[in-house]
Amino acid sequence: MNKEDYFIQQFTNQTKLIGDDAAVVGNMVYSQDAFFENVHFKREWMSLKQIASKAMLVNISDAIAMNAKPLYALLTVAIPKDFSTSDLRKLANGFKKVANDYGIKIIGGDTISNEKLDISITIISQTSNPKYRADAKIGDLVCYTGTLGSCKKDLKKLLKGKKVPSKAKFIKPKLKGDFFYDISKYVNASLDISDGLFFELQRVSKASKVGFEFFDEISPEVGTSGEEYEMLFTFPKKHLEKVMLSAKNHKVPLNIFAKVIKGSYKTTAKNHHF
Which one of residues 4, 216, 217, 241 is an interface residue with a copy of itself (CB under 8 A)?
4
Contacting residue, 57, 69, 70, 120, with a copy of itself by CB under 8 A: 120
In the complex, the smallest distance separating the C-beta of residue 37 from a copy of itself, rounded to whole angstroms, is 10
SS3 call for 127: coil
- What does DSSP assign to residue 18? B
User: If binding is defined by CB under 8 A, does position 274 make contact with a copy of itself?
Assistant: no
| Composition of the chain by helix, strand, coil, percent to 5 | 35, 25, 35
DSSP 8-state class, residue 109: E
Q: How far apart are CA 23 and CA 107, in angstroms?
A: 19
Nearest-approach distance from CB 58 to a copy of itself, in angstroms: 10
Distance CA 182, CA 178 (A): 6
The site string for a copy of itself over 62-101 (x = CB under 8 A, - otherwise) reads ----------x-xxxxxx---x-x--xx-xxx-xx--x--
Listed residue (62, 70, 77) closest to 108, CA to CA: 77
Q: Is 21 annotated as a binding residue?
A: yes
By CB under 8 A, name the one of 110, 178, 213, 221 that touches a copy of itself: 110
CA distance readout (Å), 46 to 55, 85, 152, 155: 12, 18, 16, 12
Least CB distance from residue 107 to a copy of itself, whole Å? Answer: 4
- Helices (DSSP H) in 43-164: which residue ranges? 48-65, 85-101, 150-159
How many residues of this chain bind a copy of itself (CB under 8 A)? Answer: 56
* Nearer of residues 31 and 234 to a copy of itself, judged by Cβ: 31
Question: 176 and 145 in contact (C-beta within 8 Å)?
Answer: yes
Q: Is there a contact between 38 and 117 (Cβ–Cβ < 8 Å)?
A: no
Annotated binding site: 21, 31, 33, 40, 62, 109-110, 133, 192, 194-195, 227
The residues of the shown chain that bind a copy of itself, judged by CB under 8 A, are 3-4, 6-8, 10-11, 14-15, 17-18, 22-23, 25, 28, 30-34, 36, 38-40, 72, 74-79, 83, 85, 88-89, 91-93, 95-96, 99, 105-115, 118, 120, 122, 124
